[in-house]
Every structure is written in C-alpha cells, then in structure tokens.
Structure 1
Amino acid sequence: MQGLYQPAFNSIAPPARRLRYAGLLLLSISLAGQSGLVQIVRISPTGGPEGTRVTVIGKNLQETSAVLFGEVRSDFKIISPDELVVLVPHNTSTPPLTVVTPQGRSRSPFAFSLVNDPRIPDEVSYKAGYVNSVAQPSDFHSARLWGIAIADTRVSGGESARVEIAWTQLSCRADGKDIVLNDDRGNVHGGLYLRQPWFGGHNYHEPIPLVYDLALHSVVLNVGLRTDRVWHFWSPSPRATLPQAELEGCTARARVRISQGALLQMGFDYWRSPTVPYGSGGNNHEAGASNWYFPSDQWQDVMFSDIGGPKF
C-alpha cells in the first residue's frame, strides 16, 4: 500500500534499522531451532531381546516425554538433545519405535526386531530381567523375595526336571549399609499357579509339593511332575519390615541347582505391611525380576536387585 514504510534490507534502510532487523531475524532462527520437531536419525542396535539397551540418535530429543514400542511404553534416559537410551519393554512384538515430545512425534525409519532367547517358552511373561521404574508407594514398609520355577517339555529331560534350593536371602541397602532381612536354609513356601495363561490372571493356586533332601540341606521342586503349572515360591520367613532409613533398594538371592529341562527366575515385591493380605487393593508392588537362569550340573548363586534402578 502506498504511504506505508516497507522495511527492507537494502542500502536505503538506515544502518541502525538494518542491524535491529538482522538481530530479530537471528533470534527467530534460534528460537525455531530450539522448538524444532523431534526427529529420529538412527537406532542401535536394531534387534535383540526384551530389556535390550537401545541408543536413539536424533534431533530435539531433550523434551522427550515418552518412548513407545507400538503402544507399549518403555523406560528411557535423556543423554543429550541428540541422544536417548531406551530399554525394550516386555510384552511387545516388533512394532516401530516412536519418540513423543510436546512438539510432536517421530517414528524410527528403522524397524527393531525383537528376538527373545529361544530357551524361554512363549507363554512366559517376563522373558528378560527388568527393574520397575515406578518406585514403591511411600506407605509400603515391607518386602518379600520370590522365585519362579518351570519345566520346559520341549527339551529332553523336561518330565524329570527339578530345582534344588539350598538357601534364600533378602537384604536391603539403607544409609549405605546392607542389612539382611531374611536368611532361610533348606525351605520355601509357595503354590502351583496356572501356566496357560501365565498365572491365570488371578490368584487361584494349589499347594506346592515339596521334597526335602536332608543330606544336602535343601528343598526340591520336582517341576517335571506338573509341567502345566508355574511353581511359584517365596521365603518361609514372614514378610520383613524395611529398615527405617534412607532406602536405596533390596536384593534377593538364592543358591540353587537347576537340572536339565528346568528354568528359574528370581524377584521380590514391596508390600504395604508385613501382614496385609494379597488382593486387588494394590497391597504389593513388584520391584522387578531377574534374567532367567538355565540348567547346570553345578550349584548357582542367583539374584535380583533393584538397587540403582533400571540399568541404562
């Protein structure tokens, strides 16, 4: 329109005005870069089992609020605006990896191929170890270790598979000191739970048949006798009260011998109190689970710990 001044970067505009507009232009470019859309450039590795540590390289990753494998959320850690570390979640297939920020979403141009250990049966829930990234509620003051033993009838020896347990121990680290809460020898408690589907989706279970080896001071789970069940065991001691101090986490340990055709996994739960019953009211909080342990002629020391949180 005639009569209106049209600013332009030419020799007609005064030098001071040209400098001011140049500064505004540079500021605009800078702000645009800071609020740019998220972009995934590459991921590494592009395949592996649940729990795999995946490095995501991209742009504008500093405001990442979620990382998804399909619709399943995964734990992640922001390293820099150009890098994330992501842990492949359980119960996912091989969908694309998506990064979510307030500015939008970016789907990886590279597929991630989920390849779990073929020694672990398909129906198993957690096919690799994990640490729960959600801390237990502040009013949870107790803990108890647990284990899972199953038979694998796909391999020779599944029908006679067994797990021997010499001892179990639960300790917690508080104020930098490791405190033993339970230390049990040659005994466990537990039950037989449905295996298809995994744990049956409810608390139905049968008594667990235990055999005691007095010579070795161990308890034997003959998992090959009931291959249709999950042999879920826990410490025979009452639930322990957590130390009244700054808690860093806890560790469940056991000394076991796993025969051909058997598998074992360890973990522990935080509980609201030492006496509250199991139920639908959220009285227990799973701290996580170990990787699976496999057959050996030798005794093995197995463990799970949530100290330090998810292992990025």
Structure 2
Amino acid sequence: MRAFYQKVQKRVIAIAGMAMAITFFGLVITLAALPVSFSGLAQVEPPEITAISPTSGPEGTRVEITGINLAGATTVLFGASPAVFKLISPETIVAIVPHKISTSTITVSAPQGHSSSPFPFVICNDPRIPEEVSYKAGYVNPVPRPADFNSARLWGIVIADARVPGYKAAQVEIAWTQLSCRANGKNFVLNDDFARVAGGLYLRHPWFGGHDYHEPMPSAYDEAEHATVIRVGERSDRIWHFWSPSPRAALPAGALEGCTVKARLKISSGALLQIGFDYWRNATIGYGSGGNNHEAGASNWYFPSSQWQEATFTDIGGPQF
C-alpha cells in the first residue's frame, strides 16, 4: 500500500509541478506550474520507542522515554500496568513507574499503533522494604479528589522488619503530627496533635487483608520525650496503622491546591514508617464500601535513625514529573 501511495504521489507531483500548454480553439494557453498539497494523503506513522532512561529503579521512578511520533500517545504501560505520564515533546515522554509490578517492557500506544521498549525496565526496590508491602515508594494519586469530598485526615503505617536482629524491641516514638491544607494561596492547619495518635492493628499477610477488620492498637507514653510510643516489634505480624486522634477536619473554603502532612518521630532499629492522608466525603461519615475516602497518596518509607526525623508528604503540585 505504501509503495502504491508513493507512485501515485510522484506522478501527481510530476504533472502538477510542470507548466502546461494546451490548444483551445486555435489559441495556445500556457498554464503555470501549480502547487499541490498532499495533506489529505499524509500518513501518520505509529510511535517508536528508541530509548528509556534510567533502565532500572524502584516503583515511583521517573522514566524518560524517547523516540519518534510520540505526540499522539494515549497510554503508557509497564507490562500490563498503566502508568501516569506527561508528554514533553513529540520525541519525549516522562512516565512514573507504577506500583506492584515486576521487571517488564514499556509500551506506548497511540491511535495509529504502538511500540515497546527495546529492553525491559528492571524493577529494583529498596531491599529494606519487606516484599508484602503494597506501596514500596511514595506517590501522589493521579486521580483528583472528588468535588464533593470536603474533609481530610492524616494517617501513618508502622511495621517491624523480622529480618533485623532484635526486631522484637523495635518501636517508633511520635512527638507530634500535623495536617495543613492550602487554599487561595494560604495555608490552614487542620490538625496539630502532640504526642497523641489513634489507630488499629491490621492484617499484614495479605496487606491489610482486603477489609477493615482490625484490633485496638496499644501504645505507651514517654514522659521524658513527650511522645507516644508504638512498640511495633511486639506484633510483627500486624500493620500498625495510626491516624489523627482529633476530629476529622473540614477542608478550607476556596480553591484547594492540596494538603501536607508532617510528623516528628524517632524510629528504632527493626522498624519503618510511611505517612499520608485521605480525603473524605465529609467530616463525620464512617469508613465503608461506598467510597467514603479517597487516598491522596503516601510518602517514601522512613528508616531507623538515632535522631529525631520529620516525615512529610504533600499532594500539592500533583505527581512530580
């Protein structure tokens, strides 16, 4: 078909590109060469991936995909998993490696066809994160908050790493947690809790068990450090899921840019922590199967240190390309 198209194109160009003379009732009329456009016959070539960079990394890695004819891309897949992506130019796409995937090729699809990377992207997550963890790197949910969701609450996850010697003594101390949101260019503090958390113990295998069943979460108070102590090593078979003990707060009025959570904490050997927050339908509705909460995202994992750390996560600005 392409060969036929090229032959027709050449012949029409040859005719249209020449000055022509014709005789009409004895008069010789010269026609100047006329321009011709083939926009109606133009073919749109399928995308073609020529390179990816980097070629390996953990979930959440920013990957630059280069090639030709990428402007019409509609999906980017890592294996069978769709990725959040941004078109930089007709030759460049930036995609974020999705979660819960293994080493796989990258495929860019467009209406005119698709193309796969010449070699796979190799997944190499941080070995300090246990395999059963669902989200091994921080992320911002690319799906925006539903318009009728007008509340938010911070949360955190603490687990013990049974591979670490002495993990049964692992603990996390939490001095304070804070949730703030930005609207109309101003920051509003929704929750600011000192040395207090609420929470529960959830199934770890499989991750969260696929339901909301949980046991009460025990905690202690360290008078010297003015901090809540979560002795996660005592139940290494559970996810210690905590959240703000304050009433769920309403979002500030106006154009919401997003929210930020912070926590001051100390993580001992054998423990690790991740924080994030959810948007909620309103300030009083309970957790349920009706989609009452919308996860904004989560931080990267925080690891043991002898010093106090500030863990943080924000969805302001959306996914970072």
- So what's the TM-score if we normalise by structure 1? 0.93
Q: Aligned residue pairs: how many?
A: 302
- Counterpart of 2:56 (choices 40, 47, 56) is 47
What percentage of aligned pairs have identical amino acids?
61
1:90 aligned counterpart, secondary structure: coil
Q: Does 1:37 align with 2:46?
A: yes
Deviation of 1:7 after TM superposition, in Å, equals 6.2
Equivalent residue for 1:202? 211
Shift of 1:19: 4.2
Task: List per-residue Cα deviations over 1:144-181 (Å, max 9, x = no partner).
Answer: 00000000010122111000000000000111111100
Residues 8 and 122 of structure 1, relative CA distance in 2, 3 Å threshold: closer
Deviation, structure 1 residue 62: 1.2
Q: Cα offset for 1:264?
A: 0.2
Kept in 1: contact 2:257–2:316 (CA 8 A): yes
In structure 1, the gaps of 5 or more residues are 1-5
Unaligned runs of 5+ in 2: 1-10, 21-29
Indicate whether 1:9 and 2:3 are aligned. no
Give the match for residue 265 of structure 1: 274
Q: Is the 8 A contact 2:168 2:233 kept in 1?
A: yes
Q: In the alignment, what sits opposite 1:3?
A: none
Of 294, 297, 310, 2:303 maps to 294
1:127-276 matched pairs, under 5 angstroms: 127-276=136-285
Letter in 1 for 2:203: L
Letter in 2 for 1:130: Y
Q: 1:8 to 1:58 in 2, by over 3 A?
A: closer
CA RMSD in angstroms, aligned pairs only: 1.9
Matching residue of 1:105? 114
CA contact (8 A) 2:16 2:36 kept: no
Separation in 1, partners of 2:162, 2:17: 87
Cα separation, 2, equivalents of 1:17 and 1:143: 74
Please tell me whether the aligned partners of residues 13 and 36 of structure 2 are also in contact (alpha carbons under 8 angstroms).
no
Shift of 1:102: 1.3
Q: Which string of whole-angstrom CA distances, capped at 9 and with x for unpartnered residues, describes residues 181-236 of structure 1?
A: 00000110000000000000100100000111122211010000000000000000
Distance 1:13 1:257, change over 3 A: closer
**TM value normalised by structure 2:** 0.90
Are the counterparts in 2 of residues 7 and 13 from structure 1 also a CA contact under 8 Å?
Answer: no
Note the C-alpha offset of 1:12.
11
